[in-house]
Amino acid sequence: MTTAGGPSSSSLADVIDTILDKGLVIDAYVRVSLVGIELLTIDARVVVASVDTYLRFAEAANRLAIGSEPKGLSDLVSDVKGSGSTKSKTKGVLEGVGETLGELLGGSSGGEREPAPRRRQK
Amino acid sequence: MTSPEDTDDTEGAAASVIYVYAIVPADVQPEEDATGIHDAPIEIVTHGDIAALVSEIDPDHRLGTSADLQAHARILDGTSHVAPVLPLRFGAVVSDRDAVINELLAEHHDEFASALDELEGFAQYMIKGRYVEESIVREIVDESPKATALLESIRGQPEELTRDARMALGEIIGHALEAKRETDTRITLDALSPLTDTVTVREPTHDEDAVQIAILLEVDRQDALEQTVGELAARWDNRVTMRILGPMAPYDFVVRPKPEG
């Protein structure tokens, strides 16, 4: 097996997205019961456009304008490259990339002991 | 969805029941110290060519904490590194170890074995993209004169006086996001198409989800996947944050085998 490292570290949200309602349903095969499942709060599993959502989007747009005229994308890009005032934004970009690469490489959980099963040598 | 028929504690001292994680090939062997839900040791119950990964669980102990969910996922995903896995849905239990064999493995031995054969060497990966809110909202406003005008009209005005304009602006953004999600999902699917044609597009679970795609891929080709998604991430730098999760169990690709006549 040539896989390097463990799986990317999934957040709880990722895990919920991934495992809920998925997998073989064994009670369709056999007589078993599902243990009473007391699920933690899951908000907005399916995105529904709502008043709240719209107001939130409007607020996000409104924040763009604070302290300046709305800018075109090209302005934004040159801003990120140039001035110091957008440092936090630039940093965010770099962190984003780092995170992506880290997860791509599956490195984030590499140090953990993998408690999962291994395969017996044939 | 719960079936509270938990009144069977009269039949002897059935202190615990058996939680079933997954069906795997019989040559899978749990690590000695592997633990699952509620820190119970992981065991394997084999029958012929197949086996079930299980652990004991107290039937009175409610399931569903984040730790429970993560333990379930950890066992399945960890196994998917080394062997094909048929994941069971979270929360599946049977009465005892014999029932694992008699009611689950024996009855479906051949279907499970052939499904595992097909999965050999493959695992699921999730490709997720999330819009960077500031960038995407700006992009949308810039592309829509109407949105730009609405934004002008609310700027500096008290919220209670501009509710209608805010709603209208938010609605434009919401619809534009949907369209962008569709476009960007298609772009991602096109980029992935040389790698696999076993693909499931998931519904968004967050307002700013750009892409949520599950694929079944040979684990040997993970490098190519990383490269492909890396290129998209570079192209969408500061617009969409791309992530790959996996290898994981093929949650999105197990379906009930059709009973053969």
Measured between CA atoms, the residue of chain B closest to residue A61 is B137
Domain extent listing, chain A: 12-104
Nearest-neighbour CA in chain A from B216: distance (Å) = 14
Residue numbers in B near A100 (CB within 8 A): 230, 233, 241-243
Q: What is the pLDDT of residue B15?
A: 77
Q: What is the pLDDT of residue A102?
A: 33
Measured between CA atoms, the residue of chain A closest to residue B121 is A1
- For B84-122, what is each residue's pLDDT tens digit? 999 988 888 888 899 899 888 998 899 899 999 999 999
Nearest-neighbour CA in chain A from B127: distance (Å) = 10
Domain extent listing, chain B: 17-120, 123-253
pLDDT exceeds 60 at position B245: yes
The ipTM of this complex is: 0.71
- For A37-82, what is each residue's pLDDT tens digit? 444 434 434 445 578 888 889 999 998 855 444 444 443 333 333 3
Chain B stretch 218-237, residues whose beta carbon is closer than 8 A to a beta carbon of chain A: 219-220, 222, 226, 229-230, 233, 237
What residues form DSSP beta bridges with B44?
Answer: B53
Q: What is the pLDDT of residue A20?
A: 76
3-state secondary structure chain B: CCCCCCCCCCCCCCCCEEEEEEEEECCEECCCCCECHHHCECEEEEECCEEEEEEEECCCCCECCHHHHHHHHHHHHHHHCCCCCEEECCCEEECCHHHHHHHHHCCCHHHHHHHHHHHCCEEEEEEEEEECHHHHHHHHHHHCHHHHHHHHHHCCCCHHHCHHHHHHHHHHHHHHHHHHHHHHHHHHHHHHCCCCCCEEECCCCCCCEEEEEEEEEEHHHHHHHHHHHHHHHHHCCCCEEEEEEEEECCHHHCCCCCCCC
pLDDT band at A3 (very low <50, low <70, confident <90, very high): very low
Cβ distance B151 to A61 less than 8 Å, yes or no, reads yes
B contact test, residue of A14, A25, A31, A32 with most B CBs within 10 A: A32
Q: What is the pLDDT of residue A120?
A: 61
What residues form DSSP beta bridges with B211?
Answer: B129
Higher-confidence residue: B7 or B87?
A: B87
Using only the alpha carbons of chain A, give its radius of gyration. Answer: 23
Cβ distance A72 to B142 less than 8 Å, yes or no, reads yes
Distance (Å, whole) CA A103 – CA A19: 19
For the ranges A44-53, B35-44, B69-78, B84-93, the lowest mean pLDDT is seen at A44-53
Cβ distance A24 to B148 less than 8 Å, yes or no, reads no
pLDDT band at A86 (very low <50, low <70, confident <90, very high): very low
Q: What is the pLDDT of residue A16?
A: 80
For the ranges A64-68, B50-54, B208-212, the lowest mean pLDDT is seen at A64-68
Nearest-neighbour CA in chain B from A75: distance (Å) = 11
Of residues A39, A101, A120, nearest to B29 (C-beta):
A120
For B39, the token pair is 């820190």
pTM: 0.74
